[in-house]
Amino acid sequence: METKKALPILFAVMFFVMVGFGIIIPVLPFYAEELGATPTQLGLLMAVYSLMQLIFAPMWGRVSDRIGRKPIMMIGILGLSFSFFFMAFASQLWMLFAARIIGGFLSSANMPTVQAYAADITTEENRGKGMGIIGAAVGLGFVFGPAIGGIFSRTSLSLPFLVAGVSSLITFLLVTFVLKESLSEEAKGTSSDSKTPSLKMLSGSISILYFLQLFVSISLAGLEATFAYFAAQQAGLGTVELGYIFMIMGFAGALVQGGLVGRMTKKFGEGAVIQIGILVSAIGFGLILFVDNFATAAVFLSIFGIGNGVIRPSVSALITKTTTSGYGRATGLLSSFDSLGRIIGPPVGGWLFSIAVGLPYIVGIVLSVIAFLLYVTYSSQLKKQKVQSVASP
């Protein structure tokens, strides 16, 4: 399938997947509470989904390398749809947990397989552009999804789950009838080290990039978990203003991912873009400490969002360009590290916030510095390997 035709379809697929996912975000806490969930149980309900993603994303990526991207994407999207319908008709709390576990297990196939598909259909020169478009779809999905969920929740708390289920079914049909398989029969299961356990991929210089993404994800998840409280205390902002702020941040990040990442990586290389993104994120963390009204919150959070938004697509592009273990395995493992960061980040951010209001963002700066140093280490090791390969007979 030609890149020019496939990338817009891939954008639409990931956009609708994330819209469906985003629809339930503002509703799930109240829905779970209605079924008798305590705050602790609600936290577990949110975490169990990320845990499933952490465990099973590498598996789905590996399977997609062996049998193709399209069938795995279909499984992931259909599983997501099923979980939404299951939640819509849940009458007891255990049913919500079951739906989240099943949905997390099956939908963990989506992100690594879509990214692997993008890697299949793009040249190395345009890899950053492909990953940026996927990132833009994710960002825009998170912008529109919660807004749609909030609108439908006025009628009934279960209605957003039905809407999300229907959205996912439409996406499933789009993949089934429009998207063509990107992996040729010859390429299936032929990557070197295709039978190597995923953990053995965490060796050599490429492993550093996975840990870099982990620190970036931890800092982002910590901010997402605490910013509402911070903005309320520092600037007196309410839920409506925060909704607009996160919408502005999402649009800013999506515009950069969809329009600039490809051009920047083509001109400067993924490594430079990763470093720029980390530095801008660190600046954003520092500026957030000075939020005192709606305007400063929107601008400073958008600066952070722009910096953070260019990191993941560039890391994904760089890993797929250097891996020898198959694109699906590589992106699956990256998704696993991303999920681990989203599990660790919220409780750590909440704990830091309880010690001092601005501490999560100060620690975010520290984590950004660590991520920057990790990239410097990766670059240094890569140069040594090239020197050694040239020097060896």
User: 321-368, pLDDT tens digit by residue?
Assistant: 887 668 898 999 999 999 999 899 988 998 999 999 999 999 999 999
Among 15-24, 56-65, 297-306, the minimum mean pLDDT is found in 15-24
| Mean pLDDT, range 290-317, rounded to an integer | 94
Q: Does one domain contain both 111 and 216?
A: no
Q: Does one domain contain both 82 and 228?
A: no
Domain assignment present for 190: no
- Cα distance between residue 364 and residue 121, in whole Å: 35
Percent residues over pLDDT 70 in the chain? 93
State yes or no: pLDDT of 42 exceeds 50: yes
How many domains is the chain built from? 2
Q: Which domain holds residue 224?
A: 201-388
Q: Does one domain contain both 214 and 164?
A: no
State yes or no: pLDDT of 112 exceeds 60: yes
Domain assignment present for 393: no
Of 133, 136, 131, residue with least CA distance to 120 = 131
Query: Model confidence over 120-174: pLDDT tens digits?
Result: 998 888 899 899 999 999 889 888 888 888 888 888 889 999 999 999 999 999 9
Q: Does one domain contain both 134 and 256?
A: no
pLDDT of residue 313: 93
Q: Does one domain contain both 30 and 114?
A: yes
Domain assignment present for 189: no
Percent residues over pLDDT 90 in the chain? 53
Query: Model confidence over 59-72: pLDDT tens digits?
Result: 999 999 999 999 99
Q: Does one domain contain both 4 and 132?
A: yes
Q: Does one domain contain both 31 and 80?
A: yes
Sort 336 into a burial class: Cβ within 10 Å, 0-12 / 13-18 / 19+: buried
Mean of per-residue pLDDT scores for the chain: 88
- Contact of 20 with 80, CB cutoff 8 Å: yes
Q: Does one domain contain both 226 and 310?
A: yes
State yes or no: pLDDT of 369 exceeds 80: yes
State yes or no: pLDDT of 270 exceeds 60: yes
Q: Does one domain contain both 130 and 164?
A: yes
Q: Please report how many Cα atoms fall inside a 13 Å half-sphere around the Cα of residue 45, on the Cβ side.
A: 24
DSSP 179: P
pLDDT tier at 192 (50, 70, 90 boundaries)? very low
Q: Does one domain contain both 208 and 257?
A: yes
pLDDT of residue 391: 60
Q: Please report, for the domain that includes residue 42, its CATH number.
A: 1.20.1250.20
- Cα distance between residue 25 and residue 371, in whole Å: 29
- Contact of 345 with 221, CB cutoff 8 Å: yes
State yes or no: pLDDT of 315 exceeds 90: yes
Query: Model confidence over 81-95: pLDDT tens digits?
Result: 999 999 999 999 999
- Contact of 61 with 113, CB cutoff 8 Å: yes
pLDDT of residue 326: 82
| Mean pLDDT, range 375-382, rounded to an integer | 92
pLDDT of residue 213: 95
What Å distances lie between residue 265 and 143, 185, 200, 273, 367, CA to CA?
A: 25, 30, 28, 6, 23
State yes or no: pLDDT of 1 exceeds 60: no
State yes or no: pLDDT of 195 exceeds 70: no
pLDDT of residue 198: 56
Among 198-207, 345-354, 368-377, the minimum mean pLDDT is found in 198-207
Query: Model confidence over 216-241: pLDDT tens digits?
Result: 999 999 998 889 889 989 999 887 78
pLDDT of residue 215: 97
State yes or no: pLDDT of 76 exceeds 50: yes
